[in-house]
Structure 1
Amino acid sequence: MQNMRFLAVNLDSFLIELNDPEHTVALFRHLETIKHPHIVEMIPAATTILVYFDRLNTEVSALIRYIKSQRIERQQRHSVAKVVIDVTYDGPDLHHVAELLGVTVSEVIYRHSNTCWNVAFIGFAPGFGYLNSPDHPFGSIPRLSSPRKKIQAGSVALAGEYTGIYPKDSPGGWQLIGSTPQQMWDIHRDPPALLRAGAQVIFRDITRQPSHVVVPEIKIPRQPEQHLQPVFELLQTGLQSLVQDQGRTHQAALGVGRSGAMDQTALSQANRIVGNPDHAAVIEILNGGLKLKVLQSTVVAVTGAASHIGVSYAGQAQVKVPDYSPIALDCGDLLYIDSPHAGLRHYLAIRGGIKTEKILGSASFDTLAELGTPPLKPHDFIYSAELSVGSVLLHEKCAQQLPKIGDVVEVDVILGPRTDWFEPESLTQFFQQQWLVTQESNRIGLRLSAGLPLKRQIHGELASEGTCTGALQIPPNGQPVLFMNDHPLTGGYPVLGAIAIDHLDRVAQIPPGCLIQFRQKSEILDLDKEST
């Protein structure tokens, strides 16, 4: 296939840019079919495909040469899934859309329901499909000037050249033209997402027909077996305590990101100390404040942020215990984890792991998708997963120097894929000035601030494209947003660069009030030349 451009993203990923959605869908389907052994995952978008690859077993140049060598016909026919979606055309923006187009409401409904739509990609939220058509029945519909704070699940909407259905209640700025009783996302369905990239969709007008609401089967979470005894009762959970593990993989086709522990090294070390397998779930504690009561003898380890960790043994005075070491606890003991004096997130591992339900292969709670084990709260009980365990390690060292509020933290950046969207002076300024980590930072992203915002030299609108963990997306205000584990899979603002993979754990431990000094890890790579 001709007219492909390859853009750097990170050490394990790159972006393929094509001319139009039709070429993009054709290449994505082809790469899905051939299943190259070293392509780990792909995220298709409007005119791009984000490719993650196994960097231990292939070179990026070899993989690009392989993709360039493929011959794909744009009009190649595929057997694709076809989905019919019932719509009641009664949306609050329906008349406004008709006015924008200079047509009647009936014409809007006719165009929408008599077009064969293609699911170009999944993004924004799990199960949210971006549907387009080569017929372009509406041209480009502008988004609302002020997004709504809440749009009901099942709302059918238009924006740009796309139509889509909101899978859950969420904020949004698309023009609402109708609603459907069908569920776009149901975690108890296999697969949970009704729409997948590459599928075709027909909307069926049921406006004048009696409608019904599909009530999903409510599954009550299975209660622990009666013979199981809890290991802990949580007395205090601090600002945020979440069950996390290594995260979800190979779920991008559903619009689901990896999530998982922010500091993966601290997660692994905590499990290793108590003899757990790497995949065991732990508790990730934001900014300390955890207090728990021990209900049966166990061994735990605390890693990550540095703070006072205390144990009150059988009602006696509190004793300080070390982090990065096994801590033996008996029934009646109390464990305290105070606010950190360095770093931001602790990881508490329990020998045998934490018993919890896995969603799409992981116990991790994704704060953006609201998927996984719900956030822990006071008086929750923690049960052992009774995993096979190995030897306890007497001590491990913290893998990094933990930052304190006010510190300047140096972080490596891989430039791309949209570095050329910014003025050269802004690129120089990006590396010269220090960026404050603001209080508006969480597992979705860190909002950064500096005196001189970054300026673009390309001012057009960027079509949504895949983004990696660590991506530095630059919104119109010129102040970067650093995407973290729970970020959306696609974004509509240009990405100047991404945090090098080996510095993501460092970023996970940066508290608000620190400054980041970015260091250029690579030159602006021309991957097309690299592959020749």
Structure 2
Amino acid sequence: MVTSRRGATGSRVRLLPFGDRAVLAEVADLAAVLELHAALAAAPPDGVDDLVPAARTVLVAFDPSRLSRDAVHAWILFCDQQGPDAVLPGPLIEVPVRYDGADLDSTAETLGIPVAELVRRHAAAEWTVAFTGFAPGFAYLVSPDWPYEVPRLASPRTRVPAGALGVAGEFSGAYPRQTPGGWRLIGSTDVVLFDPDAADPVLLPPRARVRFVPERSRIAAAAVISGGFGASGGRDAGDPSSALPSSSAGHGVAAPALRILAPGAAATVQDLGRPGRAALGIARSGALDRGALRVANRLVGNAETAAGLEIVLGGFRARAEHDTWVCVTGALADVSVDGRAVDAYAPLHLPAGATLAIGAARAGLRLYLAVRGGVVSPTAFGSMASDVLAGLGPAPSAAGDVIRSGTPAGPVPTVDGFPWSVPPALIDVPLSAGPRADWFAAGALEAMTAATWTVSADADRVGIRLDGPALPRARSGELPSEGMRPGAVQVPPHGRPVVLLADGPVTGGYPVIGVVPDAALDALAQARPGDGVRFRRV
């Protein structure tokens, strides 16, 4: 369903479907986005979980158990009719920079201006944070004083250092942490742009005004630029505090529970994530197979929201530091205690000194290990989840690490057996039309449902790339960045779909042809390279 009405400026707001938990409100330009976002943010009704402004859209995420889609549509259209009294400017923040970026010379050449003019225009402009995305604290800055449209790099860098200052399209922005990136780099800064432990973690919030102040004694002339970026000051913005909390909500005082002997391919701490923070550039994260984590927690007497370990492909071993209970769920793998085979999906008592071993996964991809009392780890934005893209939360577990647990929520239940099924090698996934289905050739959605897709080796917590027939576009060109959510099926230029998962970016510029409902994402968490995926229209 697409709904629209004529706004005060003569533009139209279009309401585009975005799965079962979001609506994409599209307007004419960035100024209209700022107006609509301000009106929506003034008094959101109960049930609206997030508002994510972007270049031409505002993504409205909602809880369908508390607010219907029709009610969300009506509220957005009402706010558009009313409009805000005024879009108040934010505080003015000065950011010291060095114009020493690796692309400074080539960017000036692309724009047909001298390097000195590029530096002068960029530093003289007053910028405004239009929205955040891509990574926590990454601000998309715009300015009426900046007249240039700068093309992105044809081949993105695999590593852009923290503090690198770049330009792309009409935007400028600085990278809060080391990430891949395709913007043209013209400078660098030492300021910490994102600090998850600070009272105000984002230095450049939406609507803030920004001026870049050159450190004049350190501006590099184009003739002597070596391609370096200068020293990066401060700690990595994604590095969480190393101080272990003495307590965590629902867990009480932490005590050593397990010592990891072998973490397997990867083992990370995960709970149910940190939803509702996409406007700050922070993804939901958390366990990909939430159902498996919930069950594991219930079977050892924890609250379903407690943190556990998410283990990829098995190969995990740990020794009990004291008597405790654990439970293993998720993928199919052999589980043993001191070499004796035991059941998954059942509470297991581990005496002090006993060794728990989880073999290689034979079906499915991710296993979940719950420890009685819940895993206790440093929190970031109210969650212990490890976000691999943003670098939030604890680092992946390593041999020798001690897993601590808190106070259990209730007794270990008495169960004779818990019903569960082996993750299949062919996964049936429901799919609804996405907000940009019209960017694709006629029949593209039907082609998606007719094909059996293969999970590629490019599959992680950020997303899953599927191999199969290329989906041709009906429209060319770049889509302005807009809000994204787990379950969005993006199609990059190579034509193969990518399903975003919990650590995926909160904004993106690839068109979304379809959306996987939130409840169906747990099944995709168990998809391993080589497995098949079939989409079913809903």
Q: 1:94, CA displacement in angstroms?
A: 2.1
> 2:273 matched to which residue of 1?
247
| In 1, Cα distance between equivalents of 2:412 and 2:105 | 68
- SS of equivalent to 2:407: coil
- SS of equivalent to 1:97: helix
Q: Answer whether contact 1:136 1:161 (CA < 8 A) is retained.
A: no
Does residue 471 of the first structure (1) align with residue 488 of the second (2)? yes
Q: 1:280, CA displacement in angstroms?
A: 1.1
> 2:256 matched to which residue of 1?
230
Q: 1:212, CA displacement in angstroms?
A: 9.7
- SS of equivalent to 1:111: helix
- The one of 528, 531, 534 equivalent to 1:511 is 528
Q: Answer whether contact 2:299 2:413 (CA < 8 A) is retained.
A: yes
Does residue 19 of the first structure (1) align with residue 37 of the second (2)? no
- SS of equivalent to 1:253: helix
**Mapping of 1:67-78 within 5 angstroms?**
67-70=76-79, 71-73=81-83, 76-78=86-88
Q: Answer whether contact 1:300 1:349 (CA < 8 A) is retained.
A: yes
- SS of equivalent to 2:376: coil
Q: 1:100, CA displacement in angstroms?
A: 2.4
Q: 1:228, CA displacement in angstroms?
A: 7.1
| In 1, Cα distance between equivalents of 2:33 and 2:530 | 42
Does residue 82 of the first structure (1) align with residue 103 of the second (2)? no
The number of residue pairs the alignment matches comes to 510
Identity of aligned residues (%): 37
Distance 1:219 1:127, change over 3 A: closer
Distance 1:199 1:311, change over 3 A: same
- TM-superposition CA deviations, 1:444-490 (whole Å, max 9, x none): 1111101x211000112101111110111101111111111111111
| In 1, Cα distance between equivalents of 2:327 and 2:347 | 5
Q: 1:282, CA displacement in angstroms?
A: 0.5
Q: 1:432, CA displacement in angstroms?
A: 0.6
Letter in 2 for 1:336: A
Q: 1:349, CA displacement in angstroms?
A: 0.7
**Mapping of 1:161-240 within 5 angstroms?**
161-208=170-217, 214-215=233-234, 221-222=242-243, 230-240=256-266
Q: 1:271, CA displacement in angstroms?
A: 0.7
Q: Answer whether contact 2:35 2:87 (CA < 8 A) is retained.
A: no
> 1:416 matched to which residue of 2?
434
Q: Answer whether contact 2:96 2:215 (CA < 8 A) is retained.
A: yes
Distance 1:164 1:229, change over 3 A: closer
Q: 1:186, CA displacement in angstroms?
A: 1.9
- The one of 331, 336, 345 equivalent to 1:305 is 331
- SS of equivalent to 2:405: coil
Letter in 2 for 1:418: R
Q: 1:209, CA displacement in angstroms?
A: 6.8
Q: 1:246, CA displacement in angstroms?
A: 0.6
Comparing 461-470 with 184-193, greater Cα deviation is found at 184-193
Does residue 101 of the first structure (1) align with residue 111 of the second (2)? yes
Distance 1:302 1:115, change over 3 A: same
Letter in 2 for 1:385: G
RMSD: 2.3
- TM-superposition CA deviations, 1:280-324 (whole Å, max 9, x none): 110111111111112211111111112211111xxxxx2221111
Q: Answer whether contact 2:347 2:412 (CA < 8 A) is retained.
A: no
Q: 1:138, CA displacement in angstroms?
A: 3.2
- The one of 300, 306, 317 equivalent to 1:274 is 300
Comparing 143-152 with 391-400, greater Cα deviation is found at 391-400
| In 1, Cα distance between equivalents of 2:332 and 2:218 | 62
> 2:52 matched to which residue of 1?
43
Distance 1:60 1:337, change over 3 A: same
| In 2, Cα distance between equivalents of 1:120 and 1:147 | 23
| In 1, Cα distance between equivalents of 2:380 and 2:24 | 29
Q: Answer whether contact 1:231 1:296 (CA < 8 A) is retained.
A: yes
> 2:455 matched to which residue of 1?
437
Letter in 1 for 2:91: A
Distance 1:214 1:445, change over 3 A: closer
> 2:415 matched to which residue of 1?
394
> 2:343 matched to which residue of 1?
322
Distance 1:121 1:395, change over 3 A: farther
- TM-superposition CA deviations, 1:199-220 (whole Å, max 9, x none): 2212222223799975459997
| In 2, Cα distance between equivalents of 1:40 and 1:171 | 29
> 1:499 matched to which residue of 2?
516
Q: Answer whether contact 2:389 2:503 (CA < 8 A) is retained.
A: yes
| In 2, Cα distance between equivalents of 1:274 and 1:288 | 20
- SS of equivalent to 2:529: coil
> 1:365 matched to which residue of 2?
386
Q: Answer whether contact 2:46 2:66 (CA < 8 A) is retained.
A: no
Distance 1:213 1:339, change over 3 A: closer
- SS of equivalent to 1:332: coil
Comparing 86-95 with 474-483, greater Cα deviation is found at 86-95
Letter in 2 for 1:97: T
Does residue 456 of the first structure (1) align with residue 473 of the second (2)? yes
Letter in 2 for 1:425: G
Instruction: With the length of structure 2 as denominator, give the TM-score of the two structures.
Output: 0.90
Does residue 112 of the first structure (1) align with residue 130 of the second (2)? no
Letter in 2 for 1:100: T
Does residue 347 of the first structure (1) align with residue 368 of the second (2)? yes
| In 2, Cα distance between equivalents of 1:270 and 1:186 | 32
- SS of equivalent to 1:230: strand
| In 2, Cα distance between equivalents of 1:75 and 1:159 | 32
Distance 1:491 1:395, change over 3 A: farther
**Structure 1 portions without partners, runs of 5+:** 313-317, 522-532
| In 1, Cα distance between equivalents of 2:244 and 2:520 | 40
| In 1, Cα distance between equivalents of 2:190 and 2:183 | 19
Q: 1:380, CA displacement in angstroms?
A: 1.1
Letter in 2 for 1:327: L
Instruction: With the length of structure 1 as denominator, give the TM-score of the two structures.
Output: 0.91
Q: 1:18, CA displacement in angstroms?
A: 0.7
| In 1, Cα distance between equivalents of 2:292 and 2:59 | 28
Distance 1:396 1:8, change over 3 A: farther
Distance 1:320 1:190, change over 3 A: same
- SS of equivalent to 2:42: helix
Comparing 44-53 with 389-398, greater Cα deviation is found at 389-398
Distance 1:305 1:77, change over 3 A: closer
Q: Answer whether contact 2:241 2:378 (CA < 8 A) is retained.
A: no
